[in-house]
Amino acid sequence: MDNVFEQVEKNIDNLVLNNVDWTASATKEELDAARDGRLVLRFWDREIPREWLKDIRGKRVLCLAGAGGLQAPLFACAGAKVTVIDISAGMLEKDREIAARENLPIEIVKGNICDLSMFADESFDLIFNPPSLMYIPDVSVVFRECFRVLAKGGEFILMAPAPINYVCDWVEDEQGGYYKAVHRMPWCSRDFDDSGWIEYGHTMEEYLGGLTGSGFAVTGYLECQAEDITELNFLARAVKQTGE
Ligand SMILES: C[S@@+](CC[C@H](N)C(=O)[O-])C[C@H]1O[C@@H](n2cnc3c(N)ncnc32)[C@H](O)[C@@H]1O
């Protein structure tokens, strides 16, 4: 398939049908806690720092490639005005179900985060982007759009896999095997795999340099590592500078 985004949409919809871990939605307890003023968003084993999410009530929040019925319902329960955009109808259906069940006014948009032209300039105070930039060939396109739709001083929180995820391959040997660094960055699955799975390994220059190059100031950075040592992910907070 020539269109990368059509293929990604198909891939993600298939994962939803197969119930992969990260398609799990918010629990009743998490929703009730958010309603009671305890909004907790997790990034693997870490919690998003509370000060990044403070004063959320009334804020205009865009969950960017953030469907799945997890973050959007939690933000809505915490009193934010929430819009979620995602390319996967299957993932968005989860938000639709929870919004109907919990009576939450979430605006649900099916679309590609490389083109946010359906949103006016400066229409959000916070953009929350769970891991998804690995499905985007050129992250600078997304960063420019995010900068445009954020209000001055607005906050962009994003999560993504660090380059180490893509640099190494597993090599089997008599001792059980080991990782070997074999790939140059940036990396694309299509160079090694014709299964139809599409994923991009971006450099930190593309991520952090891309944010600063788009006019953001990076004001926070955290990492977390899964059991598989090359599964290192980062979380960054960037703010749209006011120029004053
Ligand atoms: C790992 S999931 C993240 C959502 C989930 N709530 C979480 O916290 O893990 C990645 C999401 O990115 C979406 N996505 C991938 N490429 C996209 C694109 N170009 N435009 C919009 N959404 C996209 C997928 O459909 C999927 O819902």
The answer to whether 87 and 5 have CB atoms below 8 angstroms apart is yes
CATH number of this structure's domain 4-162+197-240? 3.40.50.150
Report which ligand 1 atom has the smallest distance to the Cα of 23. 5
Report which ligand 1 atom has the smallest distance to the Cα of 91. 27
| pLDDT at residue 129, rounded to an integer | 98
CA dist., res. 85 & res. 87, Å (int): 7
Tokens of 222: 């955290």
Closest CA relative to residue 109, chosen from 123, 95, 98: 95
| pLDDT at residue 244, rounded to an integer | 60
Pocket test for ligand 1, best of 132, 136, 198, 202 (most atoms within 8 A of CB): 132
The answer to whether 126 and 58 have CB atoms below 8 angstroms apart is no
CA dist., res. 240 & res. 154, Å (int): 5
Within 6 Å (CB) of ligand 1, which residues are found? 5, 8, 12, 22, 65-68, 70-71, 86-88, 91, 112-114, 130-132, 135-136
Predicted TM-score (pTM) of the model is: 0.96
Max CA-CA distance within the chain? 61
Q: Where are the alpha helices (DSSP H) in 183-225?
A: 204, 210-213
Q: Model confidence at 68, in pLDDT bands (50, 70, 90)?
A: very high
Mean pLDDT of the region 142-158: 98
Task: Classify the C-alpha dihedral 11-12-17-23 as positive or negative.
Answer: positive
Domain ranges across the chain? 4-162+197-240
Q: Model confidence at 8, in pLDDT bands (50, 70, 90)?
A: very high
Model confidence at 1: pLDDT above 60: no
| 5 Cα to the center of ligand 1, angstroms | 11
| Strand stretches in 29-182, DSSP E | 42-43, 46-47, 60-64, 81-86, 107-110, 124-129, 150-161, 168-171, 178-181
Q: Whose CA is nearest to atom 4 of ligand 1?
A: 66
CA dist., res. 110 & res. 118, Å (int): 11
pLDDT tens digits for 103-114? 999 999 999 999
